[in-house]
A and B are shown apart, each in its own frame.
Chain A
Amino acid sequence: MLDNLRAIAAARQALLNEDGVSPFGTVVEKVISTTEGILDGRRTILAGTNNYLGLTFDPVCIEAACTALRNEGTGTTGSRMANGTFAAHTALERELAAFFGRRDAMVFSTGYIANLGMLSALTGRDDVILIDADCHASIYDGCRLGTAEVIRFRHNNPEDLDIRLRRLGERTARTLIVVEGIYSMLGDRAPLAAIAALKRRYGAWLLVDEAHSFGVLGAHGRGLAEEAGVEDAVDFVVGTFSKSLGTIGGFSASDHPELDSLRYASRPYLFTASPSPSIVASARAALGLLQGRPELRKRLWENAHGLYERLRDLGFALGPEPSPIVAVMMATPEEGLACWRALLAQGVYVNLIVPPAAPNGGSLLRCSVGAAHTPEQIERIAGAFATLPRV
């Protein structure tokens, strides 16, 4: 008992410096705005928040949340299957289905729970799930919760996926391919057109987690499937409200009528409390803004390109393509930690990623930018990086 936790405590202690500031226990002591907070007593630009459209302080979303809070209370205190489905939950599901042009949508309490709920209940003992090796922990955990056989394919490698589909023979008709729109660590997109072509050729199924691409990619913000022009090949879209919509929650949208039956089979849907009224209200308001204010997406991409190009010109090794996630690669965890502290001391917060989440035994300074960052803030973030020693 507890051996694992003692090992974690020792490893964590090694990462603490004299003043106790830890990259994995950062406290935002005071929230100033969408893009700024007080961290370690200092006014700091938040450049690692996934707040892509910058809607967390939008007055429309806040007003909607406050109204719901006053009218419907602080929580539903129950599961969707019992007393936890209010009119607003079903309205949000209809609005999501309409936005994605799908027959139906289902709302879960978080994005993590959406993947757990979908992957564990869509598949059974005779099925196979083929996942990209770099998929998020929620996808791996959803697979573990279910009974299907789980096989990985090499990250963003359609040739490797092809080989694995071929090996499965007739089982491809019972195989669910799972990829992400934008991968959360390096910010790279899945080669979805090639993956969709393989899905069609082998008669398999396809689930795309658009957590980081919903509201970010596509002419209407529907994600990578829209951008790649392959929405009709995607059987199940999964996403989250905790990034572009600035609140918390998850969803799936699909044309398959069986999605509705998932409500009775998905334990992560059944056995947890439904999202609070204020959360549902702000998600609905933000979904409206995502559609009504395309300039947010334009500003987001200007900032993404701006930071990516500035850091590239400074000579940093970055993720393979510009995206709202700008991952700066560091050779070792120690170098990453030292640079993370140096950035924080200059009032810039980014995420520090260490192995095993970071590739090749190195570490990542993972920045994420949003529509709410000003050009001056992007410049200040780049300016702080410019002071870091280069190895």
Chain B
Amino acid sequence: MPTYRDILTQTCELLEPYAKGRALEEGTDLLNHVGLDSIQAMEVLLAAEGRFDMSIPLNVLAEVRTVGDLAQQLQHLLERR
């Protein structure tokens, strides 16, 4: 099982194509700083699903605002698998 730090690193990698050079950190706001729109958010989820070989329920998005929130949700789902 990957650690939270591993997942955070991989989450940043997944977000990098959308960050347009902006720094990505644990507290970075996905909407206001990365500027993800709804379609891009879905693309990121699809990429994460492929990388971790799991389905991500849309319900978890309600709890996600920052890069760290997303990594945490991914960790919960990986643990539950």
- Residues on A lying within 8 angstroms of B by beta carbon are 128, 133, 143, 149-152, 154, 164, 167-168, 355-356
Q: List 9 A-B contacts (CB under 8 A).
A: A128-B57, A143-B58, A150-B57, A151-B58, A167-B54, A355-B37, A355-B39, A356-B37, A356-B38
Contacting pair B55 A133 (CB below 8 A)? no
Contacting pair A149 B59 (CB below 8 A)? yes
Q: Which residues of A contact B39 (CB under 8 A)?
A: 355-356
Q: Which residues of A contact B56 (CB under 8 A)?
A: 151
A164-B56 Cα distance, complex, nearest whole Å: 10
A150 and B55 contact, Cβ closer than 8 Å, known pairs A355-B37, A356-B39 = no
Q: Which residues of B contact A355 (CB under 8 A)?
A: 37, 39
Q: Which residues of A contact B58 (CB under 8 A)?
A: 143, 150-152
Q: Is B46 an interface residue (CB 8 A)?
A: yes
- Leading 6 A-B pairs by shortest Cβ distance: A150-B58, A149-B57, A356-B39, A151-B55, A164-B55, A356-B38
Q: Which residues of A contact B53 (CB under 8 A)?
A: 167
| 16 other A-B residue contacts (CB within 8 Å) besides A149-B57, A151-B55, A151-B57 | A128-B57, A143-B58, A149-B59, A150-B58, A150-B59, A151-B56, A152-B42, A152-B58, A154-B46, A164-B55, A167-B54, A167-B55, A168-B55, A355-B37, A356-B37, A356-B39
- Residues on B lying within 8 angstroms of A by beta carbon are 37-39, 42, 46, 53-59
CB distance from B11 to the nearest CB of A (A): 19
Max chain A CB contacts within 10 Å: which of B37, B39, B56?
B39
CB distance from B54 to the nearest CB of A (A): 6
CB distance from A136 to the nearest CB of B (A): 15
A143-B37 Cα distance, complex, nearest whole Å: 20
Main DSSP-derived SS at the A contact region = mixed
CB distance from B49 to the nearest CB of A (A): 9
Q: Which residues of B contact A143 (CB under 8 A)?
A: 58
Q: Which residues of A contact B46 (CB under 8 A)?
A: 154
Contacting pair A133 B42 (CB below 8 A)? yes
Q: Which residues of B contact A168 (CB under 8 A)?
A: 55
CB distance from A174 to the nearest CB of B (A): 14
A150-B45 Cα distance, complex, nearest whole Å: 13
Q: Which residues of A contact B42 (CB under 8 A)?
A: 133, 152
A150-B37 Cα distance, complex, nearest whole Å: 20
A168-B38 Cα distance, complex, nearest whole Å: 25
Q: Which residues of B contact A152 (CB under 8 A)?
A: 42, 58
Whose C-beta in chain A lies nearest to the C-beta of B40?
A356
Max chain A CB contacts within 10 Å: which of B42, B54, B55, B56?
B55
A168-B54 Cα distance, complex, nearest whole Å: 9
CB distance from B64 to the nearest CB of A (A): 15
CB distance from B25 to the nearest CB of A (A): 25
Q: Which residues of B contact A164 (CB under 8 A)?
A: 55
Whose C-beta in chain B lies nearest to the C-beta of A360?
B39
A164-B55 Cα distance, complex, nearest whole Å: 6
Q: Which residues of B contact A151 (CB under 8 A)?
A: 55-58
Q: Which residues of B contact A133 (CB under 8 A)?
A: 42
Whose C-beta in chain A lies nearest to the C-beta of B38?
A356
Whose C-beta in chain B lies nearest to the C-beta of A143?
B58
A355-B53 Cα distance, complex, nearest whole Å: 28
CB distance from B13 to the nearest CB of A (A): 21
A154-B57 Cα distance, complex, nearest whole Å: 14
Whose C-beta in chain A lies nearest to the C-beta of B45?
A152
CB distance from A79 to the nearest CB of B (A): 29
A355-B39 Cα distance, complex, nearest whole Å: 8
A154-B55 Cα distance, complex, nearest whole Å: 11
Whose C-beta in chain A lies nearest to the C-beta of B37?
A356
Whose C-beta in chain A lies nearest to the C-beta of B41?
A356
A356-B58 Cα distance, complex, nearest whole Å: 17
CB distance from A144 to the nearest CB of B (A): 8
Whose C-beta in chain B lies nearest to the C-beta of A140?
B58
Whose C-beta in chain B lies nearest to the C-beta of A154?
B46
Max chain B CB contacts within 10 Å: which of A128, A143, A151, A168?
A151
Q: Which residues of A contact B38 (CB under 8 A)?
A: 356
A164-B57 Cα distance, complex, nearest whole Å: 11
A73-B69 Cα distance, complex, nearest whole Å: 55
A325-B56 Cα distance, complex, nearest whole Å: 32
A128-B42 Cα distance, complex, nearest whole Å: 18
Max chain B CB contacts within 10 Å: which of A128, A150, A168?
A150
